[in-house]
A and B are shown apart, each in its own frame.
Chain A
Amino acid sequence: QKEVEQNSGPLSVPEGAIASLNCTYSDRGSQSFFWYRQYSGKSPELIMFIYSNGDKEDGRFTAQLNKASQYVSLLIRDSQPSDSATYLCAVDNTNAGKSTFGDGTTLTVKP
Protein backbone atom coordinates (compact mmCIF):
# COMPACT_ATOMS: atom_id res chain seq x y z
CA GLN A 1 0.00 0.00 0.00
CA LYS A 2 1.32 3.41 -0.94
CA GLU A 3 1.73 5.94 1.84
CA VAL A 4 -0.29 8.55 -0.08
CA GLU A 5 -2.82 7.44 -2.67
CA GLN A 6 -4.68 9.46 -5.24
CA ASN A 7 -6.97 8.46 -8.08
CA SER A 8 -4.75 8.70 -11.13
CA GLY A 9 -7.58 9.89 -13.34
CA PRO A 10 -7.84 11.42 -15.73
CA LEU A 11 -10.76 13.30 -14.25
CA SER A 12 -12.81 15.25 -16.74
CA VAL A 13 -15.42 17.86 -15.81
CA PRO A 14 -17.30 20.46 -17.84
CA GLU A 15 -16.53 24.12 -17.39
CA GLY A 16 -18.43 25.57 -14.42
CA ALA A 17 -18.77 22.23 -12.61
CA ILE A 18 -17.26 21.20 -9.28
CA ALA A 19 -14.12 19.07 -9.50
CA SER A 20 -13.48 16.76 -6.55
CA LEU A 21 -10.00 15.38 -5.98
CA ASN A 22 -9.35 12.80 -3.31
CA CYS A 23 -6.34 11.61 -1.33
CA THR A 24 -5.89 8.98 1.37
CA TYR A 25 -2.83 8.45 3.55
CA SER A 26 -1.58 5.64 5.75
CA ASP A 27 0.46 7.37 8.47
CA ARG A 28 -1.82 8.31 11.37
CA GLY A 29 0.92 10.58 12.70
CA SER A 30 0.57 12.90 9.70
CA GLN A 31 -0.05 16.46 10.74
CA SER A 32 0.14 18.70 7.68
CA PHE A 33 -1.56 18.30 4.33
CA PHE A 34 -0.89 20.15 1.10
CA TRP A 35 -2.29 20.40 -2.40
CA TYR A 36 -0.08 21.37 -5.31
CA ARG A 37 -1.01 22.11 -8.90
CA GLN A 38 1.38 21.16 -11.68
CA TYR A 39 0.87 22.31 -15.24
CA SER A 40 2.40 20.17 -17.95
CA GLY A 41 6.14 20.80 -18.17
CA LYS A 42 6.18 23.07 -15.13
CA SER A 43 7.09 22.66 -11.47
CA PRO A 44 4.45 22.14 -8.76
CA GLU A 45 2.97 25.19 -7.07
CA LEU A 46 1.28 25.20 -3.69
CA ILE A 47 -2.43 26.03 -3.82
CA MET A 48 -3.78 24.92 -0.43
CA PHE A 49 -2.66 23.60 2.92
CA ILE A 50 -4.68 22.35 5.86
CA TYR A 51 -3.68 21.26 9.35
CA SER A 52 -6.98 20.76 11.22
CA ASN A 53 -10.03 18.62 10.66
CA GLY A 54 -12.78 20.31 8.67
CA ASP A 55 -12.93 22.59 5.69
CA LYS A 56 -10.64 25.40 4.58
CA GLU A 57 -11.75 27.70 1.78
CA ASP A 58 -9.67 29.96 -0.42
CA GLY A 59 -11.51 31.47 -3.35
CA ARG A 60 -12.78 28.67 -5.58
CA PHE A 61 -10.74 26.07 -3.71
CA THR A 62 -11.83 24.13 -0.60
CA ALA A 63 -9.62 21.64 1.19
CA GLN A 64 -11.32 19.08 3.43
CA LEU A 65 -9.53 17.00 6.05
CA ASN A 66 -10.80 14.02 8.02
CA LYS A 67 -8.00 12.60 10.16
CA ALA A 68 -10.14 9.79 11.57
CA SER A 69 -10.73 8.50 8.03
CA GLN A 70 -7.21 9.50 6.91
CA TYR A 71 -8.70 11.37 4.01
CA VAL A 72 -8.06 14.76 2.47
CA SER A 73 -9.82 16.24 -0.53
CA LEU A 74 -9.73 19.29 -2.75
CA LEU A 75 -12.85 20.79 -4.28
CA ILE A 76 -12.63 23.25 -7.15
CA ARG A 77 -15.83 25.20 -7.71
CA ASP A 78 -16.77 26.82 -11.01
CA SER A 79 -13.99 24.88 -12.76
CA GLN A 80 -12.23 26.71 -15.58
CA PRO A 81 -10.18 25.34 -18.49
CA SER A 82 -7.16 26.99 -16.82
CA ASP A 83 -7.62 24.57 -13.90
CA SER A 84 -6.61 21.70 -16.22
CA ALA A 85 -3.47 20.32 -14.59
CA THR A 86 -2.17 17.51 -12.40
CA TYR A 87 -2.98 17.95 -8.71
CA LEU A 88 -0.57 16.49 -6.17
CA CYS A 89 -1.47 15.67 -2.60
CA ALA A 90 1.36 15.83 -0.05
CA VAL A 91 1.35 14.67 3.57
CA ASP A 92 3.84 15.74 6.20
CA ASN A 93 4.77 13.96 9.40
CA THR A 94 6.70 16.39 11.58
CA ASN A 95 8.90 13.62 12.92
CA ALA A 96 9.88 12.53 9.43
CA GLY A 97 11.10 15.99 8.39
CA LYS A 98 9.79 15.57 4.87
CA SER A 99 6.58 15.31 2.88
CA THR A 100 5.30 12.27 1.05
CA PHE A 101 3.65 12.99 -2.29
CA GLY A 102 0.94 11.09 -4.09
CA ASP A 103 1.35 10.35 -7.79
CA GLY A 104 -1.20 13.02 -8.70
CA THR A 105 -4.61 13.25 -10.36
CA THR A 106 -4.86 14.77 -13.82
CA LEU A 107 -7.85 17.08 -14.22
CA THR A 108 -9.22 18.23 -17.56
CA VAL A 109 -11.86 20.96 -17.64
CA LYS A 110 -13.70 20.98 -20.96
CA PRO A 111 -15.12 24.26 -22.32
Chain B
Amino acid sequence: SQTIHQWPATLVQPVGSPLSLECTVEGTSNPNLYWYRQAAGRGLQLLFYSVGIGQISSEVPQNLSASRPQDRQFILSSKKLLLSDSGFYLCAWSGSNQPQHFGDGTRLSIL
Protein backbone atom coordinates (compact mmCIF):
# COMPACT_ATOMS: atom_id res chain seq x y z
CA SER B 1 0.00 0.00 0.00
CA GLN B 2 1.03 3.58 -0.52
CA THR B 3 2.27 5.76 2.31
CA ILE B 4 3.39 9.36 2.51
CA HIS B 5 5.92 10.66 5.01
CA GLN B 6 6.34 14.30 5.88
CA TRP B 7 8.67 15.78 8.46
CA PRO B 8 9.20 17.45 10.79
CA ALA B 9 5.79 17.59 12.50
CA THR B 10 6.48 20.97 14.09
CA LEU B 11 9.11 23.59 13.44
CA VAL B 12 9.92 26.93 15.04
CA GLN B 13 12.20 29.18 13.02
CA PRO B 14 13.41 32.78 13.35
CA VAL B 15 12.61 35.34 10.69
CA GLY B 16 15.22 35.33 7.95
CA SER B 17 16.31 31.74 8.50
CA PRO B 18 16.23 29.10 5.74
CA LEU B 19 13.67 26.31 5.46
CA SER B 20 13.65 22.80 4.11
CA LEU B 21 10.62 20.51 4.41
CA GLU B 22 10.75 17.05 2.94
CA CYS B 23 8.08 14.68 1.76
CA THR B 24 8.48 11.14 0.45
CA VAL B 25 6.01 8.66 -0.94
CA GLU B 26 6.29 4.88 -0.85
CA GLY B 27 4.48 2.16 -2.71
CA THR B 28 3.83 3.93 -5.99
CA SER B 29 5.76 5.30 -8.92
CA ASN B 30 5.50 8.59 -10.81
CA PRO B 31 2.99 10.15 -8.42
CA ASN B 32 1.68 13.67 -8.75
CA LEU B 33 3.03 15.62 -5.76
CA TYR B 34 1.68 18.75 -4.11
CA TRP B 35 2.60 21.30 -1.46
CA TYR B 36 -0.18 23.23 0.29
CA ARG B 37 -0.24 25.82 3.04
CA GLN B 38 -3.15 26.32 5.38
CA ALA B 39 -3.44 29.39 7.59
CA ALA B 40 -5.35 29.01 10.85
CA GLY B 41 -9.07 28.62 10.18
CA ARG B 42 -8.61 28.91 6.43
CA GLY B 43 -8.72 26.67 3.37
CA LEU B 44 -5.87 25.00 1.51
CA GLN B 45 -3.63 27.18 -0.61
CA LEU B 46 -1.84 25.23 -3.34
CA LEU B 47 1.81 26.30 -3.48
CA PHE B 48 3.44 23.90 -5.92
CA TYR B 49 2.62 20.74 -7.78
CA SER B 50 4.68 18.32 -9.82
CA VAL B 51 3.71 15.68 -12.36
CA GLY B 52 7.25 14.32 -12.74
CA ILE B 53 10.92 14.70 -11.84
CA GLY B 54 12.09 18.23 -12.48
CA GLN B 55 8.58 19.40 -13.44
CA ILE B 56 7.38 21.96 -10.92
CA SER B 57 4.43 24.30 -11.32
CA SER B 58 4.21 27.29 -9.03
CA GLU B 59 0.80 28.59 -8.08
CA VAL B 60 1.65 31.54 -5.88
CA PRO B 61 4.63 33.91 -6.30
CA GLN B 62 6.47 34.11 -2.98
CA ASN B 63 9.79 33.41 -1.35
CA LEU B 64 9.25 29.65 -1.40
CA SER B 65 10.56 27.15 -3.93
CA ALA B 66 10.08 23.45 -4.53
CA SER B 67 12.21 20.71 -6.00
CA ARG B 68 11.69 17.09 -6.95
CA PRO B 69 15.13 15.48 -7.05
CA GLN B 70 13.74 11.94 -7.14
CA ASP B 71 10.50 10.41 -8.37
CA ARG B 72 8.97 10.10 -4.90
CA GLN B 73 10.64 12.98 -3.09
CA PHE B 74 9.32 16.53 -2.93
CA ILE B 75 11.11 19.32 -1.07
CA LEU B 76 9.84 22.75 -0.07
CA SER B 77 12.49 25.39 0.58
CA SER B 78 13.03 28.99 1.43
CA LYS B 79 16.23 31.01 1.67
CA LYS B 80 14.78 33.58 4.08
CA LEU B 81 11.58 33.04 6.01
CA LEU B 82 9.06 35.81 6.57
CA LEU B 83 6.55 36.11 9.41
CA SER B 84 3.81 35.53 6.83
CA ASP B 85 5.24 32.07 6.07
CA SER B 86 3.79 30.70 9.29
CA GLY B 87 1.16 28.04 8.78
CA PHE B 88 0.36 24.38 8.40
CA TYR B 89 2.24 22.89 5.44
CA LEU B 90 0.81 19.82 3.82
CA CYS B 91 2.31 17.49 1.25
CA ALA B 92 0.01 15.30 -0.84
CA TRP B 93 0.29 12.74 -3.59
CA SER B 94 -2.10 11.33 -6.16
CA GLY B 95 -2.17 8.95 -9.07
CA SER B 96 -3.31 10.24 -12.43
CA ASN B 97 -6.96 11.40 -12.14
CA GLN B 98 -7.10 10.01 -8.60
CA PRO B 99 -7.86 11.58 -5.20
CA GLN B 100 -5.07 13.25 -3.28
CA HIS B 101 -3.73 11.72 -0.10
CA PHE B 102 -2.14 13.95 2.49
CA GLY B 103 0.80 13.61 4.82
CA ASP B 104 0.47 14.49 8.49
CA GLY B 105 1.66 18.05 7.89
CA THR B 106 4.27 20.38 9.37
CA ARG B 107 3.19 23.17 11.67
CA LEU B 108 5.62 26.05 11.06
CA SER B 109 5.89 28.98 13.43
CA ILE B 110 8.05 31.97 12.58
CA LEU B 111 9.34 34.08 15.46
Contact = CB atoms under 8 A, between A and B. Distances in A.
B7 interface: no
A94 B44 contact: no
Looking at chain B's contact residues, is the secondary structure mostly helix, strand, loop, or mixed? strand
A104 to B, nearest CB: 6
Interface in B16-35: 32, 34
Nearest to B44: A101
A45 B42 CA distance: 16
A45 B102 contact: yes
Interface residues of A, number: 20
A44 B34 CA distance: 13
Contacts of A98: 32, 34, 46, 49, 57
Interface of A: 31-32, 34, 42-46, 49, 88, 90, 92, 94, 97-99, 101-104
21 contacts: A32-B99, A34-B99, A42-B105, A43-B103, A43-B104, A43-B105, A44-B44, A44-B90, A44-B102, A45-B102, A88-B43, A94-B97, A97-B57, A98-B32, A98-B46, A98-B57, A99-B100, A101-B43, A101-B44, A102-B43, A103-B43
